[in-house]
């Protein structure tokens, strides 16, 4: 058990570097062995489900009521992600508004807040990982409800009518509801049986490898297309960089206005800047064939975002230093 704990600690210590290695390995395999792209695409949901199960298993369900009593944090994270982010995204998306396929890909990925690796990066940067983790199911539910509304506002009713809503329902049931219920049952058993406790420790210890596997599978499945369509995708990259640059001060300001502590402000900054590309990708893959470039836009955003997150974990603590909390709360 001690050996396993040591391995888990090592994985957590070097997880950011390991995620980048997973991306590079996935890119290498996808480019050198293009035949694996199709089966890898079919494996996205099967690997994403266990990842989200492990993520939700880290949510202390017995303390969720306590987390929801932190109403200032919850209101702030909802306002940032579903009021301020859409305004920023609408303005930035004008850069690609002339190309509906690029526009749809950009909107799908930028209008949906991250619920998985954002928690990891928030913790690395000293943010309120626990509060963001407790808010993850609510963030997922609200984005599934509001995404069709935003698409209707930004793209038009004709596009929304052409989109099959079944993948949205399927994604919520398979990628959110089922992992959430399984995580709740596992926690219930963990406090009552030794087998449940062992299962919980094993799954939580597998969090980093599951994230590495998911990132590698996603990149393997799409990197060939990204490479072939690079000239078109380059037009979307400035949108993603401007988004990160915009949401950093917006998130920090929102946390300051809400008078959150520094850990809460850091969590808000990360939540506002990171997007739900891994969960959104299966939805975008289900779009009509005319939007075949849109999944590549989502993967491109993932690659840009993970590079940005490496910078974020060093930048955010400097922008929001720990001693600022005493000044704000005094």
> Which residues make Cβ contacts (< 8 Å) with residue 185, sequence separation at least 6?
none
The answer, yes or no, to whether residue 323 has pLDDT greater than 70, is no
Q: Token pair for residue 81?
A: 């992600």
Q: What angle do CA 25, 29, 33 make, to 5 degrees?
A: 175
Query: What's this model's pTM, rounded to 2 decimal places?
Result: 0.85
DSSP code at position 113 = B
The answer, yes or no, to whether residue 187 has pLDDT greater than 60, is yes
The answer, yes or no, to whether residue 10 has pLDDT greater than 90, is no
Least confident of 12-16, 79-83, 202-206, 229-233: 12-16
Predicted local confidence at residue 65, as pLDDT: 67
Alpha-carbon distance of 29 to 59, in angstroms, equals: 34
Question: What pairs with residue 113 in β-bridges?
Answer: 275
Predicted local confidence at residue 66, as pLDDT: 62
Q: Which domains does the chain have, with CATH numbers?
A: 2-322 (1.20.1530.20)
The answer, yes or no, to whether residue 63 has pLDDT greater than 70, is no
Cβ(73)–Cβ(264) below 8 Å: yes
Q: Token pair for residue 289?
A: 């064939």
Chain position carrying tokens 């939805």: 283
b/e code 98-119 from CB counts within 10 Å (16+ = b): eeebbbbbbbbbbbbbbbbbbb
pLDDT band at residue 28 under the 50/70/90 scheme? very high
Cβ(112)–Cβ(276) below 8 Å: yes
Handedness of CA 207, 217, 124, 182 (dihedral sign): negative
> Which residues make Cβ contacts (< 8 Å) with residue 74, sequence separation at least 6?
68, 135, 138
């Amino acid at each position: 058990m001690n050996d396993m704990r040591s391995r888990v600690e090592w994985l957590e210590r070097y997880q950011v570097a390991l995620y980048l290695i997973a991306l590079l390995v996935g890119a290498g395999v996808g480019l050198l062995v293009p035949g694996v792209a199709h089966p890898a695409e079919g494996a996205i949901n099967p690997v994403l489900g266990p990842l989200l199960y492990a993520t939700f298993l880290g949510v202390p369900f017995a303390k969720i009521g306590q987390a929801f009593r932190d109403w200032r944090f919850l209101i702030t994270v909802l306002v940032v992600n579903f009021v301020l982010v859409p305004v920023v995204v609408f303005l930035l998306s004008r850069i690609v508004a002339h190309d509906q396929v690029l526009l749809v890909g950009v909107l799908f990925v930028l209008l949906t807040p991250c619920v998985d690796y954002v928690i990891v990066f928030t913790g690395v940067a000293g943010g309120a990982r626990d509060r963001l983790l407790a808010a993850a199911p609510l963030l997922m539910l609200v984005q599934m409800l509001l995404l069709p509304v935003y698409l209707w506002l930004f793209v038009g009713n004709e596009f929304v009518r052409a989109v099959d809503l079944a993948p949205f329902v399927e994604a919520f049931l398979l990628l959110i509801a089922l992992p959430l219920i399984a995580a709740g049952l596992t926690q219930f058993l963990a406090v009552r049986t030794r087998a449940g406790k062992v299962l919980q420790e094993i799954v939580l210890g597998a969090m980093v490898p599951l994230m590495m596997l998911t990132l590698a599978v996603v990149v393997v499945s799409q990197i060939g297309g990204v490479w072939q369509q690079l000239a078109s995708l380059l037009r979307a990259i400035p949108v993603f960089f401007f988004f990160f640059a915009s949401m950093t001060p917006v998130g920090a300001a929102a946390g300051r206005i809400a008078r959150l502590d520094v850990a809460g402000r850091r969590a808000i900054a990360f939540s506002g800047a990171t997007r739900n590309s891994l969960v959104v990708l299966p939805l975008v893959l289900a779009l009509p064939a005319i939007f075949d470039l849109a999944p590549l836009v989502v993967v491109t955003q993932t690659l840009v975002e993970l590079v940005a997150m490496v910078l974020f974990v060093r930048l955010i603590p400097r922008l929001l230093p720990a001693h600022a909390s005493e000044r704000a709360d005094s």
